[in-house]
Amino acid sequence: MADKSYDYPLDLSWSADEMATVIAFFNAVEDFNEKPKSVSSDSFLSAYRAFKAIVPSKAQEKQLDKEFEKVSGYSTYQAVQQLTKKEGKINGR
């Protein structure tokens, strides 16, 4: 998506480090959709695992996915599903 002037959905109760981790995952999802050959499965799944350490709740993950897709056009869920099908089950999921 060319226009990246949108706001990421973040929880203001998160620390700056937690926000940076969530943003890194959203960036990985963007890269997965925009430049799929530049995204390694290991780095993407590592970003997802770090994201899940901050957002362990499925309900909150779904809410963030919805909000992120609304502003970016990209689904975190679909990106994870595509990689999971390609690479197999994600450890700890």
Structural domains of the chain, ranges and CATH numbers in brackets = 16-87 (1.10.220.80)
What's the whole-number average pLDDT of the chain?
Answer: 89
pLDDT score at 91 = 47
pLDDT band at 37 (very low <50, low <70, confident <90, very high): confident
Closest CA to 55 of 92, 16, 11: 11
pLDDT score at 93 = 42
pLDDT score at 90 = 53
Contact between 10 and 22 under an 8 Å Cβ cutoff? The reply is yes
Task: Please write the tens of the pLDDT for every residue from 41-52.
Answer: 999 999 999 999
pLDDT score at 31 = 94
The sign one gets for the Cα dihedral 55, 60, 65, 71 is negative
CA distance 16 to 27: 16
